[in-house]
Amino acid sequence: MDEGQSNLGALIVTIMFAAAFTVPGGSNQDTGLPIFMHDKPFKIFIITYSFSLFSSSTSVLMFLGILTSRDAEEDFLISLPKKMIIGLSTLFFSIATMMMAFSAALLLILRGESWIVAPIIGLAGIPIILFVLMQFHLLVDIVVSTYGPGIFDKKIKPWF
């Protein structure tokens, strides 16, 4: 496991936690409720923000569970791969939902300025694509080695 995955999850948790107190558009001074509370993009922002916060927290906890576990040798075949699969999957999901929350907030704040919003939302996909390209093979390999045919169950072709 790469230490950077745990750090990335912690960074996302921090960003998403701070976003709860700085909602797009601010709050009404009289009621304390968000100004854009009844707009669809704001609802999308809140939902994707929540998913990102919870999934990044899960990811961090899974990676910390791997780092602090006192597993025996047999757990390396069962427990640790499951934790790694959950950690990486929730990290992928948290990155995607974080970018969706960013896009929804941008749509909300810059209404009618599609010439600015569209390219920025397009660029928001770049970090997701790069991270997936770098780490998705690891996730696939772990899933296949954990839930696929084991190294002792494979049918071996004869060499001749």
**pLDDT tens digits along 27-40:** 777 887 787 888 88
**Chain segment 94-151, per-residue pLDDT in tens:** 988 988 988 888 888 888 787 888 898 888 888 888 888 888 888 888 888 888 776 5
Tokens of 32: 């304390």
* 34 φ, ψ (degrees, to nearest 5): -60, 140
Q: What is the DSSP string of 131-145?
A: HHHHHHHHHHHHHHH
The answer on pLDDT for 71 being more than 60 is yes
